[in-house]
Structure 1
Amino acid sequence: MKLDPFYLIVDSAAWIERLVPLGVKLVQLRIKDMDETALRAEFGKAKALCAQNRCQLIINDHWRLAIEEGCDFVHLGQEDLQAADLSQIRAAGVKLGLSTHDHAELETAMAARPDYIALGPIYPTILKKMKWAPQGLERIAEWKRLVGPIPLVAIGGLNPDRIGGVFEAGADSAAVVTDITLNADPEARTREWIEKTGRWR
Structure 2
Amino acid sequence: MSAKTEKLLSLLDGQPVIPVLKIERAADAVPLARALARGGLKVIEITLRTKEALEAIRRAGAEVEEAVVGAGTILNAKQFDEAASAGSRFIVSPGLTREVLSAAGGSEVPLLPGAITPGEIMTAAEAGLDFLKFFPAEQAGGAAFLKSLASPFAGIRFCPTGGVSLNNAGDYLSLPNVICVGGSWVAPDDLVKAGRWDEIEVLARAASRIGR
Normalising by the smaller structure, the TM-score range is 0.7 to 0.9
Matches for 1:72-111 after TM superposition, within 5 Å: 72-78=89-95, 81-82=96-97, 84-111=99-126
Residues 68 and 121 of structure 1: is their aligned pair in 2 closer, same or farther, counting only changes over 3 Å? closer
**Residues 37-76 of structure 1: CA distance to partner in whole angstroms, max 9, x if unpaired?**
x4442221121245x11x4322121211123234331111
Stretches of structure 1 that go unaligned for 5 or more consecutive residues are 124-132
Structure 2 residues not aligned, in runs of 5+? 1-5, 24-28, 192-198
CA distance in 1 between counterparts of 2:140 and 2:102 reads 33
Q: Offset of 1:28 from its aligned partner?
A: 0.7
Q: How far does the alpha carbon of each residue in 1:82-101 deviate from its partner, in whole angstroms, 9 at most, with x for none?
A: 26353442332110101123
Aligned length, in residue pairs = 182
Q: TM-score, normalised by structure 1?
A: 0.75
Please name the residue that 2:69 is paired with. Answer: 57
Q: Secondary structure at the match of 1:145?
A: coil
Aligned to 1:42: 56
Which whole-Å CA distance do the structure 2 matches of 1:90 and 1:176 have between them?
27
Question: CA–CA distance in 2 between the matches of 1:41 and 1:94?
Answer: 18
- SS in structure 2 at match of 1:97: strand
Aligned mates of 2:155, 2:189 — CA distance in 1: 33
Closer/same/farther in 2, CA of residues 188 and 7 from structure 1, 3 Å limit: same
1:5 alignment partner, one of 4, 16, 32? 16
Question: Residue 92 and residue 104 in structure 1: after superposition, are their counterparts in 2 closer, same or farther (change >3 A)?
Answer: same
Superposed displacement of residue 163, structure 1 = 2.9
SS in 1 for 2:167: helix
Contact 1:158 1:179 in 2 (8 A): no
**Cα distance in structure 1, aligned partners of 2:173 and 2:113:** 19
Q: 1:136 to 1:87 in 2, by over 3 A?
A: closer
Calculate percent identity across the aligned residue pairs: 16
Tell me the equivalent position of 1:122: 137
Going from structure 1 to structure 2, the CA distance change for 1:163 and 1:69 (only over 3 Å counts) comes to closer
Q: Give the one of 125, 136, 139 matched to 2:142.
A: 136
Shift of 1:22: 2.4
Aligned residue number for residue 155 of structure 1:
161
Are 1:174 and 2:181 counterparts? yes
Amino acid at match of 1:152: F
**CA contact 2:172–2:181 (8 Å) conserved in 1:** yes
Give the TM-score normalised by structure 2: 0.72
What's the offset of the Cα at 1:194?
0.9
